[in-house]
Amino acid sequence: MKISHKYKICVIGAGHVGLVTAACFSEMGYKVICVDNDAAKISSLKKKILPFYEPELEKIVIKNTKNGNLIFSSLLEQSIRKSDIIFIVVGTPPLSDGSADLTSIENVARAIADNLNSYKLIVEKSTVPVQTGSKVKETIHRYKKSDVEFDIASNPEFLREGKAIYDFFHPDRVVFGVEHARAEQILRRLYSTIKAPVIVTDINTAELIKHASNSFLATKISFINAVARICDLAGANVNKVAEGMGLDKRIGNDFLSAGLGYGGFCFPKDLEAFAYISKKLGYDFNLLQEVKRINEEQRRYFVEKIKEHLWVVKNKKIAILGLSFKPNTDDMRFAPSIDIVNFLLKEGAVIKLYDPQAVREAKKIFKNPKLKFVKNAYEALDKCDCACFLTEWEEFKKLDFLKLKKIMHYPLIADGRNMFDKNLLEAAGFKYIGIGM
């Protein structure tokens, strides 16, 4: 099929998913306006300063702003009026009861209604509770001032931070939740160069695919973490249990790494929002509460294991290596490091912190003057009584452990991600704490 690059796309929201979506569509040759109401963020983006770290993203943004495919704007009305396809990628942060705050979605829907000057396909990409699409449609109908037609669609995004560009161009599947063939046709054309199975459903089903997928992945992680606890009690090795389970094709080995559990802005928030909407619809999805409980407990459990080993934690020097919720991102949202550092601070530990990318973000969270940020892993490990690895950054796997042994005061490795070979480290004279090992 011939690809039509005539569509003008507007991506509303320059957060992680929004900015990646805008950049990748511009890389495909479309004309994209990425709009955000945070004027400071837009003015930085115009200077090619990105608000977060994502491998490859900067390169794509620079290339496509130069060739004119990608522009940034804080003028929502104008951007809507100029576009044929509008992606809504604004935040849906959690409220205190666990439900998703849909205020920004409603505001955008109203702005679209006010500026509906020609046919537009309005695509939800933000993760939203089921039935949000129909509310967006209702809102636009309620406030629109003309008879101009529009379609609503849901096209959930499954990209992972740190691998977002790869995931955008190589998805496992593309989901189109639509009401009419016209919307399906436009979306198929838009994505025609992406080679992946396409699933076409109604909008409610597409919205549910996203919540159910993230909740299932979180469940897989909590399941293996519960198994890890049993491994510790029984004297078994959870990495091997996971390997043995994962080779069964029906189970698969992804998302079976035991450790400190999941963090980040998606899993914790989506799990809560899915439990909330399920209950609101009349079904108590209690399994999800248990998934959350197991996840939260892992952090405390890890600290208890360290305490057991160090006996008195007060005044012990502890190196924290890895702060972001996972490698290849500077994202600190819901990172296990936040709870772990706070637990250790409460115990009176003297803490040095290091992360290859997340220090700037971490400094916004860790304000206690007792915490010292250092420039590299060796500086953190110098004279420490315990090295806590909380994120499995590649550079940690390349550390010179013979050197570590010499510079550490006491050679205790607390491996929150089961990233090192316990036997090798013990043979080299280290004490080793893993999870389920």
Is 266 an active-site residue?
Answer: yes
Binding test (CB under 6 A) with ligand UDX, winner from 261, 322, 411, 416: 261
Count CB atoms within 10 A of the CB of residue 232. Answer: 17
Q: How far apart are CA 132 and CA 136, in angstroms?
A: 6
Binding test (CB under 6 A) with ligand UDX, winner from 88, 111, 256, 306: 256
Candidates 24, 231, 266, 388; catalytic one: 266
Binding test (CB under 6 A) with ligand UDX, winner from 259, 411, 434, 436: 259
Site string for ligand UDX, 221-240 (x = CB under 6 A): x-------------------
Block residue for tokens 């390169």: 59
266 near ligand UDX (CB under 6 A): yes
CA–CA distance from 287 to each of 45, 212, 247, 318 (Å)?
42, 12, 25, 36
262 near ligand UDX (CB under 6 A): yes
Binding test (CB under 6 A) with ligand UDX, winner from 267, 274, 420, 430: 267
22 near ligand UDX (CB under 6 A): no
User: Which residues from 120-159 bind ligand UDX, rule CB under 6 A?
Assistant: 157-159
- Part in contact with ligand UDX (CB under 6 A); list of ranges 25-33, 176-184, 263-271, 354-362: 263-271
Shortest spacing between CB 206 and ligand UDX, in angstroms: 14
Residues 6 or more apart whose CB falls under 8 angstroms from that of 67 comprise: none
92 near ligand UDX (CB under 6 A): no
Q: How far apart are CA 5 and CA 93, in angstroms?
A: 33
215 near ligand UDX (CB under 6 A): no
Closest CB to ligand UDX among 297 and 379? Answer: 297
Q: How far apart are CA 152 and CA 140, in angstroms?
A: 10
C-beta of residue 165 within 8 angstroms of C-beta of residue 55? yes
257 near ligand UDX (CB under 6 A): yes
Helix or strand holding residue 166 (H, E): helix 164-169
Binding test (CB under 6 A) with ligand UDX, winner from 52, 255, 285, 401: 255
Q: How far apart are CA 137 and CA 153, in angstroms?
A: 10
Give start and end residues of each alpha helix (H) in 236-346: 238-246, 267-281, 286-310, 336-346
Minimal CA–CA distance to 113: which of 89, 92, 143?
A: 143
User: Which residues from 36-65 bind ligand UDX, rule CB under 6 A?
Assistant: none
Binding footprint of ligand UDX on the chain (CB under 6 A): 157-161, 214, 217, 221, 255-257, 259, 261-264, 266-267, 325-326
Name the residues annotated as catalytic: 266
